[in-house]
Structure 1
């Protein structure tokens, strides 16, 4: 009986093309992450802005809104 060579999945062209595409995508994603998302950015007065957005400021009382007796 002739022995058969073990078939490698790398001999299939579709497997090679998918592997190359995945490597290119992975390289692009990691380079984008390294360039634009290397460190978090904290805005000035970030805590106060978040508190104002979540809790709001109480409305100031106005003298003109009170009813005057007649």
Structure 2
């Protein structure tokens, strides 16, 4: 059984260093992509009217309500 030295650092393990470097690279790439492509929201000019028309639509009239189909 090997005794661990109290002054041993986790940074001495090559796997820990490699994972840390990869995470830093990924974080840098994600933040740069966010800064380039997602810096401002894009809202269409008539967004409010389009959403209202989609959600509420035209008022239903009695002629537009479907009736039961007659058997043939």
TM-score normalised according to structure 2 size: 0.73
Take 1:55 and 1:7, find their aligned partners in 2: how far apart are those partners? 66
Take 2:48 and 2:21, find their aligned partners in 1: how far apart are those partners? 45
Q: Which runs of 5+ in 2 are unaligned?
A: 64-72
Q: Which runs of 5+ in 1 are unaligned?
A: 63-70
Q: CA RMSD in A?
A: 2.0
TM-score normalised according to structure 1 size: 0.75
Structure 1 ranges of 4+ moved more than 2 A:
58-62
Q: What is the count of residue pairs matched by the alignment?
A: 59
**Residue 8 (str. 1) matches residue 17 (str. 2):** no
More helix by share: 1
Aligned to 2:23: 22
1:13-43, Cα deviation, whole Å (9 max, x unpaired): 0000000000000000000000000011110
Displacement after TM superposition at 1:44 (Å): 1.3
Displacement after TM superposition at 1:58 (Å): 2.9
Displacement after TM superposition at 1:60 (Å): 7.1
